[in-house]
């Protein structure tokens, strides 16, 4: 666990992660002492730490993360809690129903804070960021699946073009896919810089957006594809809603249109006798929060309640 040790010893900045829209989420979940709450996306435990305080004493908190290094950081931050039961689970939140059934728990509140956090993005070993050179991996759970390099070295150009459009609204999808194919004919893609070079070769300088790095959309799309982040999301959202106790709420924070569309459609399909949509329109962070935490800028919060 060299990586973990270097993180644990790193400056406090590594741990600075302001939980996004935490006030709005606490208000809408309205947790009280003794409640059961599930954080499906533990990350650094920012929301979970607040949930622990909200259900104290006598409450139960279950946190999931599919990334074992995040789970260990969260575990260290949470520490020992004497008057709240805390279960930290190294699993995909898409397996939430089974875990809750095993624990015989019906949550009063569930949060999914989708995507990944800055500690994951900034770690060059993971190959998620285009800012530093690293192996082109991008997997959240490196014990499973294929690294991004393997996927990009074999994917059909049409499928890559589709993913770039679908997962990141990339206008230059076809040109980028063409560059990837041309480059891998010369030699296989290995590092994050190899992919950045393909993007630079595909997008003319004059056409690049000023606001964001030209590789931002490509890296987002490839990451979503490699981790299958949207596969089974609809089913997972529905299963989470159905797992709630009567009167319980499911809050979901999403950060791009592909995710938000899925959440919105599932909520609509559930809106019947049993569920009511609390957020007719998604809630967004205040200007103050966006100024203080730029990661929150694209957040959309949708909430559904079991009657
Ligand atoms: C945006 S961060 C959560 C940050 C957290 N709310 C906090 O305040 O510290 C998302 C986390 O969810 C995890 N994650 C994303 N998709 C997941 C999935 N399908 N199952 C389990 N964990 C997932 C990521 O590894 C990451 O640690």
In the predicted structure, residue 269 carries a pLDDT above the cut 90: yes
In the predicted structure, residue 43 carries a pLDDT above the cut 90: yes
| Domain-ending residue, one of 192, 226, 260 | 226
Does 204 lie in the same domain as 133?
yes
Q: Is residue 195 part of a domain?
A: yes
Query: Rounded CA gap, 109 and 304, in Å?
Result: 10
Q: Is residue 238 part of a domain?
A: no
Q: Is residue 110 part of a domain?
A: no
| Domain-ending residue, one of 176, 196, 226 | 226
- For the segment 102-121, the average pLDDT, to the nearest whole number, is 90
| Domain-ending residue, one of 176, 202, 226 | 226
- For the segment 261-273, the average pLDDT, to the nearest whole number, is 93
Q: Is residue 208 part of a domain?
A: yes
Q: Give the confidence band of 12 by pLDDT, cuts at 50, 70, 90.
A: very low
On the CB side of 146, CA atoms within 13 Å amount to 12
Testing ligand 1's pocket by substitution, the residue of 39, 43, 252 carrying the most ligand atoms inside 8 A of its CB is 43
Q: Is residue 234 part of a domain?
A: no
- For the segment 79-98, the average pLDDT, to the nearest whole number, is 95
Please give the residue range of the domain that contains residue 150: 121-226
Residue 69 CA to ligand 1 center (angstroms) comes to 11
Residue 17 has what pLDDT? Answer: 65
Q: Is residue 27 part of a domain?
A: yes
Q: Is residue 171 part of a domain?
A: yes
Residue 142 has what pLDDT? Answer: 80
pLDDT in tens, 162-176: 999 999 989 999 999
CATH number of the domain within which 140 lies = 1.10.150.170
Residue 82 has what pLDDT? Answer: 87
- For the segment 64-71, the average pLDDT, to the nearest whole number, is 92
Does 160 lie in the same domain as 75?
no
Atom 4 of ligand 1 has which residue's CA nearest to it?
Answer: 43
pLDDT in tens, 191-231: 999 999 999 999 988 888 877 889 999 999 999 999 888 98
Does 139 lie in the same domain as 80?
no
Does 132 lie in the same domain as 86?
no
Ligand 1 site residues, Cβ closer than 6 angstroms? 17, 19, 41, 43-47, 64-67, 70, 92-94, 113, 115-117, 140
Residue 15 has what pLDDT? Answer: 45
Number of domains in the chain: 2
Higher pLDDT, 73 or 1: 73
């Amino acid at each position: 666990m060299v990586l973990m040790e270097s993180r644990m010893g790193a400056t406090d900045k590594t741990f600075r992660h302001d939980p996004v829209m935490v006030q709005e989420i606490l208000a809408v979940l309205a947790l009280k002492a003794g409640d059961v709450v599930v954080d499906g996306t533990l990350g650094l435990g920012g929301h979970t730490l607040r949930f622990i305080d909200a259900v104290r004493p006598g409450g139960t908190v279950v946190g999931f993360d599919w990334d074992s290094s995040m789970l260990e950081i969260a575990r260290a931050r949470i520490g020992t809690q004497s008057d709240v039961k805390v279960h930290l689970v190294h699993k995909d939140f898409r397996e939430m129903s089974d875990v809750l059934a095993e624990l015989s728990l019906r949550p009063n509140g569930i949060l999914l804070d989708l995507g990944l956090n800055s500690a994951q993005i900034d770690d060059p070993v993971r190959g998620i960021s285009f800012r530093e050179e690293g192996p082109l991996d991008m997997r959240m759970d490196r014990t499973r699946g294929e690294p991004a390099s393997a996927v990009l070295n074999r994917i059909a150009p049409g499928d890559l073009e589709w993913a770039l459009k679908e997962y990141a609204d990339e206008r230059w999808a076809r040109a980028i896919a063409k560059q990837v194919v041309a480059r891998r004919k010369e030699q296989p893609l290995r590092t994050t810089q190899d992919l950045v070079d393909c993007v630079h070769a595909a997008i003319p300088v004059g056409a690049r957006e000023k606001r964001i790095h030209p590789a931002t959309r490509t890296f987002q799309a490839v990451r979503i594809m490699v981790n299958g982040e949207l596969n089974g999301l609809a089913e997972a959202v529905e299963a989470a809603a159905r797992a709630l106790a009567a009167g319980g709420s499911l809050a979901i924070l999403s950060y791009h249109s592909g995710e938000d569309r899925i959440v919105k459609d599932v909520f609509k399909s559930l809106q019947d006798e049993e569920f009511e949509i609390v957020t007719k329109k998604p809630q967004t962070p205040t200007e103050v929060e966006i100024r203080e935490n730029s990661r929150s800028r694209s957040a959309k919060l949708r909430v559904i309640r079991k009657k």
